[in-house]
Amino acid sequence: AAGAGGAPPFQFNFNLGAPPPADEGQEDEGKRGGRRGGGRKPDVDAIAGKMGKVTVSGGSTDADAARLSALRDLQTQYDTAKAEFEHKRRELEREFEDKTAPLGDKRRGIITGAEAVAGAQGPGGIPNFWLVAMQNHHLIEQDIHPADEPILKHLTDITCSTKLGGEHKGKEGFQLCFHFEANDFFSESVLTKTYIMDEEDEDSLENVQGCPISWQPGKDVTCKLVTKKQRKKGKERTVTVKEPCDTWFSFFSPPAVPDDDAEIDDDEAEMLQSMLESDYELAAVYRDKLIPQAVLFFLGEADDSEDEDWEYGSDDDDDDDDDDD
């Protein structure tokens, strides 16, 4: 799936294809390592030794080693240039973030009615702005359920920042902030979702962190109370249990990223990878599409066709099903 704004697709590396360490042999073949992928780096010196046994370039093995050394130098130069590019790119992104932050503040003021607009008619603000904008993006709209709508009417702003604080200060990543006016559903004024990227490979996710929600009594839409009857030794009793509900607010309870040394089987790893990829892609929609183009989404003028491949049950899945028939 293509990333938002033409960015490359997010890859969550689980190292599923990496061979086991040499000293472990085939032990516990159904298990794999944790989240970092790609296996061990190739030993170029060992490769050069093997190349010395191959007759090429008129039989000159010295020339082969020299060529490999020259290629290694070129790779180092490329890696250095790429690192400089990424550093400058991050600096430009933060400069852009600083320049556009006042525009976002002014937009929030107009939406909430705190910012006066010359010639405006009627009461201040634009009711349900963010709810409507979110419902006009087909991927986000899928996660909004009827019970969520009265709560999301209290949403006053959505922001994104790459300047992480607290325990994540100095790390690469971004944080989505969902700002709410005072309401009868929960006590928090801001709900956050934070994505920490691998410092060595920013296409790999290191961690994702949601936030707790302090629901008011009887207002929690993430679960429901269900009364069930239990029978034991001929006696029957009634118990009340919590069952999860489909809700937009599940976004703030992401799956846990396993530790580096965690052992999980292939099926579990694939399921977890799929869940985390979907979660990240949805976060990218907020970051790259909804937040910068909120007015266009509210008006129904934004084009979200580039995100079609991200929809659950894509055409590729349908094609696979057809092939099975």
DSSP per position, 253-302? SPPPPPPTT--EEHHHHHHHHHHHHHHHHHHHHIIIIITTTHHHHHHT--
More confident residue, 35 or 249: 249
Which residue do the tokens 């979110």 mark?
A: 134
Mean per-residue pLDDT for 74-89? 94
pLDDT exceeds cutoff 50 at 97: yes
Please give the mean pLDDT across all residues of the chain. Answer: 80
Structure tokens, 145: 């359920």
Q: What's residue 201's pLDDT?
A: 73
Helix axes 61-112, 44-51, angle to 10 degrees: 150
- Report the alpha-carbon distance of residue 137 to residue 294 in Å, rounded: 10
Nearest Cα neighbor of 147 from 227, 250, 242 is 250
Cα–Cα distance measured from residue 77 to residue 67, given in angstroms and rounded to the nearest whole number: 15
pLDDT of residue 268: 87
pLDDT over 80 (residue 79): yes
Return the percentage of the chain with pLDDT > 90, whole number: 49
Dist CA 161 CA 284 (whole Å): 12
Task: Identify the band that residue 267 occupies on the pLDDT scale cut at 50, 70 and 90.
Answer: confident
> DSSP E strands: which ranges in 1-47?
31-32
CA distance 240 to 10: 41
Return the higher-pLDDT residue of 262 and 118: 118
What are the tens digits of pLDDT across the range 197-240?
887 776 788 899 999 999 999 999 999 888 888 887 778 888 88
- Per-residue pLDDT tens for 136-178? 999 999 999 999 999 999 999 999 999 998 888 888 899 999 9
Whether the pLDDT of residue 19 is over 90: the answer is: no
Name residues whose C-beta falls within 8 Å of residue 48's C-beta, 6 or more positions apart in sequence.
64, 65, 68, 69
Structure confidence at residue 225 (pLDDT): 83
State residue 43's pLDDT score. Answer: 52
Q: Residue 274 phi/psi, 5° resolution?
A: -60, -45
> Which pLDDT value is given to residue 67?
87
Say yes or no to pLDDT of 37 above 60: no
Most confident of 102-106, 271-275, 312-316: 102-106
Q: Nearest to residue 210, comparing CAs of 237, 191, 234?
A: 191
Q: Any residues with CB less than 8 A from the CB of 289 and at least 6 apart, and which?
A: 4, 5, 137, 297, 302, 304, 307
Give the mean pLDDT of 97-101.
95
Model confidence at 126: pLDDT above 90: yes
Provide the pairing of β-strand 190-197 with 173-180.
antiparallel
Q: Which of 9-18, 23-32, 158-167, 176-185 has the highest mean pLDDT?
A: 176-185
DSSP string, 204-227: SEEEEE-----BPTT--SSEEEEE
List residues bridging with 227 in a β-sheet. 240
